[in-house]
Every structure is written in C-alpha cells, then in structure tokens.
Structure 1
Amino acid sequence: MADLNRIIGNSFVILGRAGMDLYANPPGAKVEKAQGFYSCLGGSSANIGVAIAKHGGQAVLVTCVSDDAIGRFALNELDKYGIDRSYVRAVGGECRNSLAVVETRLEDTQSVIYRNGAADFEMSMADVEAVDYSAYSALITTGTVLAAEPSRSAAFRAFELAKAAGLPLIFDVDYRPYSWPSAEVASDTYSRAAELCDIIIGNDVEFGFMAGAYDQGLGKARALAQTGSRIIVYKMGEKGAITISGGQEFRTGIYAVDALKPTGAGDSFMGGFIAALAAGHDLEQAVLRGSACASIVVSRVGCAPAMPTPDELDDFLATHPGPTQV
C-alpha cells in the first residue's frame, strides 16, 4: 500500500469528466415548468477538483471534452476555478460532453443525464501516459471512468503508473447504472479497482452492489479494509458513516441542514475529506469536515459553485450545533 502521508503534499491528479449542469430556475421549479436555467460546471471529477481547489489544493484533471461550445464552456469553467486542464483533450465527431438537467428541490427531484456518446469515455492510454505522476500527491478517480472503453483500460493504466510513482489511489465508487453495459460487468470492474486503491469511499448501496447483495455491503467494506493501511468510508445517508482503517472502525453523524436538493453531497464530501487530510487533520475530523461540506452543498444551488471555502466551512462548524449522535 502507498504512504498516505503523501496526501499532505496537497496536489492531486483527478481522472474523470467535466460537463455542464443546467439547474431549473427559479429554485424549486420542475424542469418542465422552468422559467430559465442556471448553468454551471458539472461532472463528479470536476466538482471534486473544485472542492479541493477552493481549499487551496492543486488539482489537475485528466479527461476528454467535446470539441464544441459545451466542451469549451467546461474548459472555461475549469479555468475559472483554477483547475489545471493541461491533460484535458478535445475530441470531435459524434462525441458529446456530459450534460445534466436537474432541479433544486427535495421531493420528486428529476435529474436528466445526457451521456450518449460521452466524450469523457474517449480518454485513452496516451492521455494517461502523458502525466508525470511523480509530481502529485495522490490520484483520485470516480467509478464513472470505468464504465466504458477506452476510458476503463486507460484508468487502470493510470492506476498502474500512479502506483509505480508511489501515489495513493483514492476511489469514489460513484455507481451510475445507466453508464454500464450490465450490472455484472460493473460489479466485477469495481471490485477489481477497489482492490488496487488505498482510500475507498462509497455509500451502503454501492458497497452492497459490489458485494452482490445490499445486506452484505458493510462486510465487503470491512473485508477491503483488512489490507494494509487502507481507509474505507461507508456512507449511510442520514445515518452517517462508518469509517474503517487499521483494524479499527468508528461511526460519525451528519450535520443536519435545511436542504434544497440531494445532489452534490458525495462530490463535496470527497473534496472536503481529502482537503482535511491534506491539512493534517486526523481521520475522524477529516470525515466530519467532509460531512459538513456535503451539508453545505445540499443547502445551496448548484454543485461546483456551492462548494465551500475554508472560511465558510470553519464558520459553519463554529455555528452548527454539531453532528447527529450515532
């Protein structure tokens, strides 16, 4: 296993998509009754990069975008947030950028994802082999990059190169069924990826999926944690999270808020958690800070623009009564 202390270097190479999110306006409106749409950067990997950048970390994204106006929108947004896009390649033809049309509402929330011919799945061996992994502190990926070729093989090649350079591998399971050819392929691929990674974050449904049954998800998480210094964060929504590492485990609660929407919590958790580890916080504090970031994001419009700054996070923690008891 890699040396997780390397994360303190606070410089990350991130695999995965950048896209456009369109939020129905005004907040609370359903898409079919929207008076307009609010556009912002989207894509789980890009969102994680924004969260890290807002906390003062360095983030470089490795992906492909479509060679059109939507792709250029994503590139401009990456520039706005200070994310290095040296390894983002524009692809032409019929490839299209990821696009999500979503709502800022909690009940009956619609999220329409356009992923046909997704440009980010064109990430190639050459794309990942161009990266000097030794220049970074860790590699972060979401499970979406594994859903199709050539992105899947390229991601595993990136894992190989990053491990050879001594980087910890950080994996957000992020299972999206609509991207995969079958549940069996997804389960096998995720399990293979998880065995290679040092930090694995997922929810109870995702670990249950990897295990083959929902009620076996926690067992799967505990089994993965038995190897070396691996860290597993098993998220359970409103019930908090169980973190497992080094033969020990602990439970943490959530920071209850008046949420506006359910989206963005996972990306914000990942970004806040990694930023906290990079800042030298212990594991439990890192989980709690990640949980607080998730609560902040679901109480705001958008995902990338909703990611909190360190000052906003510290103010939230200072004024919130604390996480729920578990």
Structure 2
Amino acid sequence: MDISTGIKKNSFLVVGRVGLDLFPDPPGTGIEEMSVMHADMGGSSANIAAGIVKLGGQAALVTCVSDDAVGRACQKMLERYGVNGTHVRVVGGEARTSLAIYESRVVDHQSVIYRNGAADFEMAEDDVAAVDYSQFGALVTAGTVFAAEPSRSAAFRAFALARAAGLPVIFDIDYRPYSWPSVEVAADVLSRAGVLSDVIVGNDEEFGFMAGGIDKGLEKARELAATTASLVIYKMGPEGAITIAPTGETRTGVYQVDALKPTGAGDSFMAGLLTGIADGLSVPDAVMRGSACAAIVVGKPGCAPAMPYPNDLADFLARHPGPTTPVIKELSDAYPPF
C-alpha cells in the first residue's frame, strides 16, 4: 500500500498516550487563582485520534492506562469521542495515567504536566503485536511514545509491523524535554524514528534539535525528504510551513487568530492534514486545512473538545479573511501522488 492509498483509507492506528486535562474556568484564570476546573481528554496521540474522528475519519488508539478512576475516565472519554479503545490496556501497580493542568491564556501561560511513572510508558511489544494492521490505512504516532521503555521498543516494533503490512508511518516529532532522560538520548531516538517514517511533521525547533542546532533544522528536514521520507512538513509558527517532497517545496501561510491558549495546535494540525489528504485535497490544501484546524483549537478552551467538526471548519473558513500568504511552489510543480 503506498502512502496515498493508505491515508485515503481514512482509518488510522494511533500509538501513544491518552491523559486527563484540567483547565481553570473562566478562561484567563491562573492555576493559582482557580476555583473551578474543567476536565476532558488530553494526550497528544489521543487528541490526534479524536480530531481525526471529529473530521469524519476512523481512529484506534494503542496505549496503556492506570487501573483506577482516572484510567477508566479516559477510556470512557475515548469512547465518547468515537475513538476505538480496543487496544488500550489497563495496567496495575503504581503506574498512573498522565495528568496535565494548563491555563486558557497566552500571556504568562502555565502548563503543569504529571508524567512520573506514566502508565502509557508501560505499553509493551505484545500490545502492538496484537493489532491487526490490515484493518488500517496508516500508523500515526507522536515523539513522546519513544521517551521511555518499554514504550520505546514497542513503538519501534509497531513501526516495523506497520511497514511489513504495507502501512505508511506518520510521525509527529513532538519533542517534550520533560519526558526524556537526556537531550542526547532524545536526539538519537527521535532521529532513528524519523529515518523510519514516510511522513514527518515537526516545527523548526524540533528539526533543529534533531540536527544539533535550530539553524540546521531546515537542512535536516530537506535531507529526510531527499533520502527516506516521502513528505516532510517543517512548521514555523506564525511564519507558516514549508512542505518538502523529493520533487519540490511548497510554502504556505497561517490563519491568524487571537489565540486563547498555545496548546493543542499541533495535534489538531495533524488531524486536519491527514483527513484533508484522505478527503482528496492536494497536499498544500491539506496543510492549509491543518493550519485552519490549529487556529480553531488555540481559540477555544481544552484540546480534544476544541477540535473542530466539519461544520466548525467550514464556518471558520467562511468567516476568516484568509491565510497570511498564498501557496508558493518552489523547485518543481510536481508533487507526490496524493
């Protein structure tokens, strides 16, 4: 199965964590001043899966949750969002489902993440080996799944099994320093994951981290596109993105909004990108759909609950004056067969 065919099945196996998000109400309230908090589903991979489902795709999550009320709540939230939780394993002992507390504000924004003894890091090779990969079109994961063992080995095993089944591997670098034992380990492991991926998405800092300096990030992204990856998306925040394929590059802008918070944008971007390609959009247009989804999410409280449905996306695009820059193709008008 080639990359185009796989993504267009619009059925994704997503590997990585689900967690519980808490955010103070009303928006703008600091954690220290909170008296009311909302709770909803979080975790990069779970957010991507929820975003895919809300936009009309199918997604199943492979991870572990703790054998307690929080773990069971996350399982119920996956079900509520329509994410297949068949491959979510419950683990006992002292492992705990991840918890994130963050503020719905940009100025002086604070996020507090509890990841010590995280249950999702208990995911093992048996968990990924139990999946019937023929039921899916592509595998998707975010970098945090590689931060600790046995999850790291399980994720690499999932890559191998997906490739053996003909599924493209889609990798969001998603570097979170607090999850890793050292910078050196993170750089090595994430670079190895990147070489094994067909589609790689990351921001300028993440590619720069893999390359040994932010000034080398774009060169690293181009190197991956020229050697092992079919598609690399190099995100530059408010400056837009450069989509790189072996045949050429395309620069796109962003949809500027008054952001309520900085969290959730990358997860929503990935969901919009993948479902856009699945719906038959060209790669540049799918990147712009991802950018619109990211803009929607940063304007609302929460992450999974802020992910748009198709009507939300259509309303946003109808009201917004448009992206900051038009699509600019460079090097070649040819593009991969999506």
1:215 maps to which residue?
Answer: 215
How far the C-alpha of 1:228 sits from its partner, in A, is 6.0
2:2 & 2:227 partners in 1: Cα distance? 11
1:130 maps to which residue?
Answer: 130
Percent of residue pairs identical = 62
**Which SS does the other structure have where 1:225 is aligned?**
helix
**Which SS does the other structure have where 2:112 is aligned?**
strand
Q: Per-residue displacement from partner, 1:175-195 (whole Å, max 9, x unpaired)?
A: 000110111110010111001
1:288 & 1:142 partners in 2: Cα distance? 20
2:194 maps to which residue?
Answer: 194
Alignment of 1:1-326 (within 5 A): 2-227=2-227, 230-325=230-325
The runs of 5 or more residues in structure 2 that have no matched partner are 327-338
**Which SS does the other structure have where 1:93 is aligned?**
coil
2:182 & 2:245 partners in 1: Cα distance? 31
1:185 & 1:208 partners in 2: Cα distance? 15
Query: CA contact under 8 A between 1:225 and 1:247: conserved in structure 2?
Result: no
Q: Per-residue displacement from partner, 1:110-146 (whole Å, max 9, x unpaired)?
A: 0000000000000001000000111100000000000
1:64 & 1:44 partners in 2: Cα distance? 14
Runs of 4+ in structure 1 over 3 Å off: none
Aligned-residue RMSD, C-alpha: 1.1
Aligned residue identity for 1:99:
L
2:222 & 2:86 partners in 1: Cα distance? 38
Aligned residue identity for 2:272:
G
2:160 & 2:42 partners in 1: Cα distance? 27
1:286 & 1:56 partners in 2: Cα distance? 14
Q: Per-residue displacement from partner, 1:175-231 (whole Å, max 9, x unpaired)?
A: 000110111110010111001101000000000000011100000000000036611
Tell me the TM-score normalised to structure 1 length. 0.98
How far the C-alpha of 1:3 sits from its partner, in A, is 3.2
Query: CA contact under 8 A between 2:21 and 2:41: conserved in structure 1?
Result: yes
The runs of 5 or more residues in structure 1 that have no matched partner are none
Aligned residue identity for 1:175:
Y
Tell me the TM-score normalised to structure 2 length. 0.95
How far the C-alpha of 1:246 sits from its partner, in A, is 2.7
2:6 & 2:127 partners in 1: Cα distance? 24
**Which SS does the other structure have where 1:289 is aligned?**
helix
2:184 & 2:227 partners in 1: Cα distance? 24
1:134 & 1:216 partners in 2: Cα distance? 38
Question: Would you say how many aligned residue pairs link Structure 1 and Structure 2?
Answer: 326
2:266 & 2:90 partners in 1: Cα distance? 27
How far the C-alpha of 1:2 sits from its partner, in A, is 4.2
1:311 & 1:319 partners in 2: Cα distance? 12
2:238 & 2:40 partners in 1: Cα distance? 27
**Which SS does the other structure have where 1:141 is aligned?**
strand
Q: Per-residue displacement from partner, 1:24-69 (whole Å, max 9, x unpaired)?
A: 1111010010121110000000000010000111100000000001
2:320 & 2:74 partners in 1: Cα distance? 34
**Which SS does the other structure have where 2:249 is aligned?**
strand
Query: CA contact under 8 A between 2:200 and 2:229: conserved in structure 1?
Result: no
Query: CA contact under 8 A between 2:145 and 2:155: conserved in structure 1?
Result: yes
1:195 & 1:218 partners in 2: Cα distance? 15
1:2 & 1:243 partners in 2: Cα distance? 19
